[in-house]
Amino acid sequence: MNSEDPRIAYFDSLAATWDGQEPSEATMTARLSERADLLALRSGQVLLEVGCGTGKTTAWLAARVAPGRVTAIDFAPEMITRARAKGVDADFVCRDVCRDDLGSGLYDVILCFHSFPHFRDQPAALRRFAEALKPDGRLIVMHIFSSAHLNHFHATLNGPVNVDRLPVGDQWRPLLAGAGLERTTHIDSQTLFFLDAVRARR
């Protein structure tokens, strides 16, 4: 992995206690269930879960796309080790989306749930996502808080994530355009951030 990114060591140090931290697995899966209409996951889809951590939401996602497949990735090796130990029927892989190839035309859905602010090179990550999507695939960025709440929270933390931010408003437009993507849905409310993007029409 990229030893130059201090976030990797930071999240590795939290892996042992991650499942006991809020939001809990129950909270996260309940909020996903509440937004099932927006997620619009379907049986048979191939889904990439980016920043899976210890796999709090992986089993929920796998059940929604079965008999399709979930590949769950994280750049923190300790998080992946603990996720694998849960025995969820998914493929857990240590990947850095700011550096590592994700393949081409593989995924119906790429989901970044509570992870996008931690990508040190967000334009590079978006380019890799665009390449990895099937032609009619969707990129979803989702949080159970508003961007303002999330960005304020990160600013109060110590360590490398202190500077991590979720783009807001029209900051998304050039980011997505640079990767050949365009927004189809963008919600930023007190209890939900949801951005849905597809490959831009040429």
Give tens-digit pLDDT for 89-133. Answer: 999 999 999 999 999 999 999 999 999 999 999 999 999 999 999
Give the pLDDT band of residue 34 (cuts 50, 70, 90): very high
Give the pLDDT score at 201: 79
The pTM (predicted TM-score) of the whole model is 0.96
- Look at the chain and report how many structural domains it folds into: 1
State mean pLDDT over 66-71. Answer: 99
Mean pLDDT for all residues in the chain: 97
Residue 54, amino acid: T
Q: Does 1 map to a domain?
A: no
Does 27 map to a domain? yes
40: domain CATH number is: 3.40.50.150
- pLDDT value at 2 more than 50: no
pLDDT at 200: 87
Over residues 45-57, mean pLDDT: 99
- pLDDT at position 111, please? 99
Q: Is residue 180 domain-resident?
A: yes
DSSP string, 130-192: HHHEEEEEEEEEEESS-HHHHHHHHHHS-SGGGG-----GGGHHHHHHHTTEEEEEEEEETTE
Rg (CA), the chain: 16
78 is in which domain, residue-wise? Answer: 6-199
